[in-house]
Structures are given as C-alpha cells and as structure tokens.
C-alpha cells in the first residue's frame, strides 16, 4: 500500500470514528412509573429499599435475570425518543433496581421496555411527559 493509500485509510477511519459516538453500554427502551411503589418484587413492603434520592427502577424482563437484578445499579442515558428534544442533553442517572416491571404495583407508562424508572429518575434524563425513550444503560 502506498503512503497516500495508508494516509487516506487512516483519515477515513478517523472521520468515521468522529461521526459515530462510542457506546460503552447496552441499548434498550425505558418508561417511567409513579407511586404507589410498594410492595416490590425485590424487597416486599420495606420502604428502606428506596434510596433517599428516589433514583430507583424496575427491571424489564431483559435484565430481570430471575430476580438477580434486585439491588443492581445502572447508569442510564437517554439517546433518542419519538418526539424531538425529549432527551435532556448530557444527562445521566444512576438507579438501583428495586422491582420487576412486569409485576410492579404501579403501571409503567409503556409496556415491554427494558427498564422502568421512577418518575424523579426519568425526569433527570428526559421530559417526563414522554411515555417512553430509547436509552443506553450500563451496570455499575
């Protein structure tokens, strides 16, 4: 390969890398839910399960893992939605799984999603009037 060919290839790779944002997590869908939150599938009627920040979530079937998801923490970031400007730019939220979305006492704003955030957590990353969003998430 000539010097110009190698340089062109390197330039092309650099250009493509800057066009695509790197993703370090999984991609899924997200809804929100509000009180009542008790009882939960993870910890029953104990109100001590909820972080004081109210940043918690219910796991969808894709991450529920037969209950092993209970207590796991995830970083969640809104990446897109059906309505433009729904995502709050450069915002990320860390949530703890305390429930199973399929059996949560409060009905999620949208069914069949990967993760359901408590309304305060959802509002941290997106407009709370949206029924669902697309997210990038990573277990921490």
CATH code of the domain containing 125: 2.40.40.10
Query: What's the domain range around 128?
Result: 24-139
- The verdict on residue 102 lying in a domain is yes
Residue 139 — pLDDT band, cuts 50, 70, 90? very high
Asked whether residue 113 is domain-assigned, the answer is yes
Alpha-carbon distance of 3 to 26, in angstroms, equals 38
Position 18 scores a pLDDT of: 45
Q: Angle at CA 80, nearest 5°, toward 78 and 85? A: 95
Statement: residue 43 has pLDDT above 50: yes
pLDDT given at position 23: 57
- 28 domain residue, yes or no: yes
Residue 56: asked if its preceding bond is cis (omega within 30°), the reply is no
Count of C-beta atoms within a 10 Å radius of residue 114: 24
Q: How far apart are CA 107 and CA 115, in angstroms?
A: 13
Q: Which pTM value belongs to this model? A: 0.83
**Distance between CA atoms of 73 and 83, rounded to whole angstroms?**
28
Q: Residue with structure tokens 């957590």?
A: 121
């Amino acid at each position: 390969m000539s010097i110009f060919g190698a340089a062109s290839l390197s330039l092309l790779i650099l250009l493509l890398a800057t066009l695509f944002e790197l993703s370090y997590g999984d991609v899924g869908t997200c809804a929100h839910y509000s009180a009542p939150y008790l009882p939960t599938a993870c910890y029953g009627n104990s109100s001590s399960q909820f972080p004081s920040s109210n940043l918690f979530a219910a796991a969808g079937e894709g991450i529920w893992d037969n209950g092993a998801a209970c207590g796991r923490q995830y970083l969640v970031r809104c990446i897109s939605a059906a309505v433009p400007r729904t995502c709050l730019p450069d915002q990320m939220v860390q949530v703890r799984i305390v429930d199973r979305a399929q059996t949560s006492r409060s009905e999620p704003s949208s069914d069949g999603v990967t993760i359901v955030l408590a309304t305060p957590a959802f509002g941290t990353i997106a407009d709370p009037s949206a029924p669902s969003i697309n997210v990038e998430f990573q277990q921490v």
